[in-house]
């Protein structure tokens, strides 16, 4: 089933220079580090990459820089979304920049019926560019609308960021029963997805986006490998020491799903220029707490190594 995606999915941040402009050189280094560390796919200029803060020319440059750095070793998908024709223009720029596909983010502000969301997906995407539909915020799909978008030839996957497992298990079953190809992908797109991935995997959602991989690749890969090996002891240890504390810290600040990850990248020794408005910087005491969580996760891996557990 994995097909195009094999391994942990990497969502890079978008670094900025001291003058606030996008730092394409640092972005390339950031992407290279992730690919070299063992990512299974690169999703650039998405939520973690501050898609909503990028203007179209910046966006295309970000996509092109990632594509050039990856150099065909992995699939590169780019975020697109917002007002319907704006989303389509971003999809066009993703295509121009060499992306292998797009992650379609929710439309701008307004709520919509299932039929309206299906029409949005159809109008915002290109038939010659694979698309993954993101179920979250004001783009909430039901079983029938999820089946309808899965039948669009350009839609290859469905990513859940709503966290309604009762509905998601019914969507997975409905899409499968509708005869969608076995190559259709389901993703867990919750913040700190590792916290919920055991549950998502149990309902047929094997793929997930790892924000932590951007700043703690060793921890993220150890967790992914433990899932693959059904190593419950390693999963328990990393959830206690790293993922559950990270989720609790993320809940302390609005917008921390992005700014906390960028703070982590900087703690790992790679300056990335903070965040653009409306996001705000991580508070100093929370940055210090994040440093402690990162150290605790690495200590847990060292302890697992010493006991012969899975730490890679």
Per the residue annotation, which of 59, 120, 159, 223 is the catalytic one?
Answer: 159
- Look up 134 and say whether it is catalytic: yes
The residue from 16, 59, 120, 134 that is catalytic is 134
In DSSP notation, the chain reads: --TT--SPEE-----B-TTSSB-HHHHHHHHHHHHHHT-SEEEESSTTTTGGG--HHHHHHHHHHHHHHHTTSS-EEEEE-SSHHHHHHHHHHHHHTT-SEEEEPPPSS----HHHHHHHHHHHS-TTS-EEEEEBTTB---HHHHHHHHTSTTEEEEEE-S--HHHHHHHHHHHHHTT--TT-EEEE--TTTHHHHHHHHHTT--EEEESGGGT-HHHHHHHHHHHHHT-HHHHHHHIIIIIHHHHHHHTTSTTHHHHHHHHHHHHTT-------TTS-PPPHHHHHHHHHHHHHHHHHHHHHHHHT----
Annotated active-site positions, please?
134, 159
């Amino acid at each position: 089933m994995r097909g195009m995606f094999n391994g942990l999915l990497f969502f890079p941040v978008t670094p900025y220079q001291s003058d606030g402009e996008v730092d394409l050189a640092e972005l390339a280094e950031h992407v290279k580090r992730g690919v070299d560390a063992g990512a299974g796919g690169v999703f650039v200029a998405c939520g973690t990459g501050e898609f909503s803060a990028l203007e179209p020319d910046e966006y295309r440059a970000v996509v092109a820089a990632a594509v050039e750095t990856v150099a065909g070793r992995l699939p590169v998908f780019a975020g697109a979304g917002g007002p319907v024709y704006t989303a389509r223009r971003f999809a066009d720029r993703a295509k121009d920049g060499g992306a292998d596909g797009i992650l379609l983010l929710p439309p701008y502000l307004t709520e919509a019926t299932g039929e309206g969301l299906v029409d949005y997906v159809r109008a915002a995407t290109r038939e010659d560019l694979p698309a993954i539909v993101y179920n979250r915020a004001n783009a909430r799909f039901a079983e029938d609308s999820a089946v309808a978008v899965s039948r669009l030839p350009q839609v290859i996957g469905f990513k859940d960021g709503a966290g309604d497992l009762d509905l998601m298990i019914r969507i997975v079953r409905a899409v499968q029963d509708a005869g969608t190809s076995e190559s259709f992908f389901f993703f867990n797109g919750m913040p700190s997805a590792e916290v919920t991935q055991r549950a998502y995997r149990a309902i047929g959602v094997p793929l997930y986006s790892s924000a932590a991989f951007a700043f703690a690749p060793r921890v993220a890969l150890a967790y992914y490998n433990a899932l693959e090996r059904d190593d419950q002891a390693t999963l328990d240890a990393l959830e206690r020491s790293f993922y559950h504390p990270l989720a609790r810290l993320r809940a302390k600040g609005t917008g921390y799903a992005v700014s906390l990850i960028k703070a982590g990248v900087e703690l790992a020794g790679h300056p990335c220029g903070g965040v653009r408005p409306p996001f705000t910087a991580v508070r100093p005491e929370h940055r210090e707490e994040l440093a402690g969580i990162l150290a605790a996760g690495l200590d847990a891996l060292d302890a697992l190594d010493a006991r012969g557990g899975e730490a890679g």
